[in-house]
Chains A and B, each alone.
Chain A
């Protein structure tokens, strides 16, 4: 079974801190994604990557950056955390190609910015 692992389940940070959210997948998937999920808004795509060192902006990239130095690892960085970045963050991966590829999600990181 594919495993997507997010480094923290719960995280509490202060406004202005730099925050790193780590995600690792073990199935050699090319595509990796970061979403945030807020009540009533569903999942919104922050950034995605389809290859090492490649990244593409999603719908809401402002205030975030990403890093993909290795195929299995995709990191989300909050340069200066703000209270409106309090959310559930979900990492996902999928293999390259096709139009019916399944997304595999990590268990999520609930981030609270105080």
Chain B
């Protein structure tokens, strides 16, 4: 079983839609959680950290459920520019970050 699992998608949604991705992790000792965004043929970039209480950044909301060992990312009012692959990242410490394989999102006009 992979340490960090994501639905690979692709998720194809129209502009303005709300879309949600989940990610499950296997190690209960995980301490930190992140969502990274990766555009086609580009490097991953941090989208947002995920805090225990949940956090929001504009149209993006991230939540953590430690009991069930999953994190989620909700994107409201999808834009064409949101089209990318979203990587779930789980960390035990600063030097041990585990990446999911990514969920591909395509937002269509």
CA distance A43 to B2 in the complex (A): 12
Number of residues in A with C-beta < 8 Å to the partner? Answer: 25
Q: Are B46 and A103 in contact (CB under 8 A)?
A: yes
B46–A106 CB distance below 8 A: no
Interface pick from A12-20, A67-75, A79-87, A94-102: A94-102
Judged by a CB distance under 8 angstroms, whether B28 is at the interface is no
Distance A66 CA – B89 CA, assembled complex (angstroms): 24
Within 8 A of A (CB), among B64-108: 87, 91, 93-97, 99-102
CB interface residues, A 10-42, toward B, < 8 Å: 31, 35, 40-42
Instruction: Decide: A108 near B43, CB < 8 A? Known: A41-B101, A99-B31, A103-B97.
Output: yes
Contact in complex: A101, B43 (CB < 8 Å):
no
Proximity bits, B1-12, A CB within 8 Å = 1, else 0: 000100010000
A102 touches B32 (CB 8 A): no
Nearest residue (CB) in B for A35 is: B99
Q: Which of A43, A48, A94, A108 contacts B99 (CB 8 A)?
A: A43
Total chain B interface residues with beta-carbon distance under 8 A = 22
Please name all residues of chain A whose beta carbon is closer than 8 Å to the beta carbon of B36 when the two chains form the complex. 103
Contacts of A102 in B (CB 8 A): 46
A106 CB contact (under 8 Å) in B32, B43, B96, B101: B43
Q: Which of B44, B94, B95, B96 is close to A105, meaning CB atoms less than 8 Å apart?
A: B44
- Tell me if B22 is interfacial: C-beta within 8 Å of chain A: no
Chain A residues near B (Cβ < 8 Å):
31, 35, 40-45, 48, 50, 56, 90, 94, 96-103, 105-108
A42-B99, A103-B44 known; 12 other A-B pairs, CB under 8 Å?
A43-B99, A45-B96, A50-B95, A94-B94, A99-B93, A100-B32, A102-B46, A103-B46, A103-B97, A106-B43, A108-B42, A108-B43
